[in-house]
Chains A and B, each alone.
Chain A
């Protein structure tokens, strides 16, 4: 029993080392291709996030000073920058990891080594994205907390749980669409468009679920990323209302997607390796 556990632990440790090595390799490769080196990973998302914040602030100015003019206000619970940053850090984490799954397997060189599997490459690329987005989000939240002097994180456990569940869901989703992409390249394009537009705009980066009328909510609450975003906000401020949002739904989606993708991967791993020979 002990030797079995020892083997398992040794295997896990070795696999972690492999994934981390690929992640380092990916960072090195990217840093040589950009004038700002490794900072490229956070500069790109930062531009989009700042654009979103400017858009939201602009809309607030246009809406006027009345907080209840459009049926409620998130400003009762969050600074507008924190509100957007929390939504962005979750929704873009999913988007980046899922899109990287599609394009990430272009990173072929590590697959030369027999010990490196396509899943390792995907995990390594996801880890790099997770680190970059976590750094960016923490920096922005830190700045806001520093300037407003209002640090609040009511449920840290829920926050980290939601963050990790989003990562798992993104990896699962990414793996699924990698295999779907093998069927037809148009599917990849359509999925990319869906990811870029539909999922991002229904994931609650700009709005809160409680601001929406009850009749409209079912049109957005199908999206598990919305649940992740809203739960992440709720974990920061437990007064934030989250009608029709469920942690169970998020857990179910994450586990189902990850399990299905792992089954798919286990049975079709050779497909991904065959492509390497092209």
Chain B
């Protein structure tokens, strides 16, 4: 290196005051082939040269090399049938319309995540090779496209770049934009995504409705079983006690005892009257009535004992037990009625809440390539230079000063 710097350059050897006819043009004098590589690199490493190279290569790629991209756009809204009681004349009509937009917006947001998921990608391209072949790289554009034997995460990332799902908060509509290297690619992908959207909306709705209906039907069955069980218990009770109704029986017994007591009162009055009428208390008329009274009293006592004692018919306990069993039957009947009503409501609501994908704009086959990406990419590279110059310049100056 030292020897090279000491040796005179060809320019120094050539005499500068030679005749004009012999003078070599300056472009030939500065023979770059003899310059060392480090010097050439130093000349190239100037900021202006680097920036120009960067911008030129960016422009060449964006406007010459880069493959055409085509887009296809569709727009739809996810709607459910309007509630039956909502009328245009209602004061709350506007308020009722707002949740519709919100519901559609929320559905759109779910859809945004769902359509970009690996699940949908696998459904659209079950074989990873299909995606690779459709979007394979083509020279001279060495950036865009999928290289062969790409990994699944790279494929998913690439798939996500080909679509954009944008729910609109003002209208509740969902805009699906797809891109591809050919118009057909963008169009077909958009159509497939619409199919997937419909499937998603219907599947979710149907599964929710099916779950709701299944639950309601299960409740009805449970209520029916409970009612059957309660009725059977009551029947067994009645069969066991040989009566149809313990309460009626108890009422009849009470009425019978009341009759006896009424008869007893009459006899007692008659006995008192006879005692006043006859001086001898052992007179046959008096004794006859007194015997009737005694007999009636013992009979009433016996009847009472028979009705309530455990050894007898124990009508009180039976009546309480029967009342419990009857209330069980009543409760089970009411529960069954409610369950049937709920099941019917659920069936009707699930029909009413069914959602539909309403198309606002069908995808179209693109005629001209989309130039937007070219300008975005090129201006983005200009932006990199501007930001680097602005921020870098400010930071360097500020640090130097401080």
Contact = CB atoms under 8 A, between A and B. Distances in A.
A134 B380 contact: no
A63 interface: no
B28 interface: no
Interface stretch (A198-206, A238-246, A269-277): A238-246
Contact of A241 (B170, B378, B387): B170
Nearest to A130: B390
B393 A157 contact: no
B380 A156 contact: yes
**Contact residue range for chain A?**
20 to 34
A39 B391 contact: no
Contacts of A159: 383
B164 A131 contact: no
Nearest to B167: A239
B378 to A, nearest CB: 7
B379 interface: yes
Interface string B379-402: 110110011001101110110011
Contacts of B378: 157
B383 A238 contact: no
Contacts of A155: 376
- The DSSP consensus for interface residues of chain A is helix
A28 B380 contact: no
B377 interface: yes
A238 B373 CA distance: 13
Given A157-B378, A160-B379, A134 B387 contact: yes
A197 B294 CA distance: 113
A156 B386 CA distance: 12
A163 B379 CA distance: 11
Contacts of A27: 397, 401
Contact of B397 (A24, A76, A157, A243): A24
A259 to B, nearest CB: 22
A207 interface: no
A158 B168 CA distance: 21
Contacts of B102: 68
A118 to B, nearest CB: 23
A157 B377 contact: yes
B166 interface: yes
A164 interface: yes
Contacts of A156: 376-377, 379-380, 383
B375 A157 contact: yes
Interface string A136-170: 00100000000000000001111111011000000
Nearest to A133: B390
Contacts of A157: 375-380, 383
A242 B167 CA distance: 13
A70 to B, nearest CB: 13
A238 B394 CA distance: 30
Interface in A161-205: 161, 163-164
Given A27-B397, A160-B379, A238 B170 contact: no
Contacts of A90: none
B126 interface: no
B394 A131 contact: yes
A31 interface: yes
Contact of B380 (A24, A39, A76, A160): A160
A132 B391 CA distance: 7
B259 interface: no
Interface string B137-169: 000000000000000000000000000101111
A155 B401 CA distance: 35
B166 A134 contact: no
A11 interface: no
Contact of B386 (A42, A72, A160, A239): A160
Given A132-B394, A135-B394, A243 B170 contact: yes
Interface in A230-259: 238-239, 241, 243
B179 to A, nearest CB: 13
Contact of B401 (A31, A134, A163): A31
A15 interface: no
B379 A38 contact: no
A86 B377 CA distance: 21
Contacts of B380: 156-157, 160
A260 interface: no
Nearest to A139: B391
Nearest to B164: A238
7 contacts: A31-B402, A39-B402, A72-B169, A128-B394, A135-B391, A156-B379, A158-B379
Interface of A: 24, 27-28, 31, 36-39, 41-42, 68, 72, 76, 128, 130-132, 134-135, 138, 155-161, 163-164, 210, 238-239, 241, 243
